[in-house]
Each structure stands twice: as C-alpha cells, then as structure tokens.
Amino acid sequence: MKNRLKVLRAERDWSQQELANRLGVSRQSVNAIETGKYDPSLPLAFKIADVFGLIIEDIFEKE
C-alpha cells in the first residue's frame, strides 16, 4: 500500500520519533509504514489520519 506519511510528516517538520510518540508506536513502526514494509492496522490507520487531520484515503492508497 502506498502512503504519503513521509511527505505529511516533513510538511510539519516532525521527526519519525515525534510522529511515533504522537501515535503511541515505535519509531521503527513509523519507518516501516513509510517505506511500505508494513501496512498499519485499521485502528492505527485511523489514528494516523486523526493526527494529521485527514481521512485515511488522503494518506493511504492502493497500489
């Protein structure tokens, strides 16, 4: 699954660790999602969308 997580994070000048802290996950989890090595669970995807004030479809897309 493709995502815009890295771009959205950079627009806010957040480090991976800062985003991880906001989401309650590890920095490694954020990195794995950004690089497409891990697809987040639905609850985590909703949490990510909430942190950025967007809907899930604005962040994640099918490949």
pTM of the model: 0.92
**Token pair for residue 11?**
């627009």
The per-residue pLDDT for range 15-45, each reduced to its tens digit, is: 999 999 999 999 999 999 999 999 999 999 9
Q: How far apart are CA 9 and CA 11, in angstroms?
A: 5
Q: How far apart are CA 53 and CA 35, in angstroms?
A: 21
Residue 44, CA atoms < 13 Å, CB-side half-sphere: 15
Closest by CA to 40, choosing from 22, 16, 17, 56, is 56
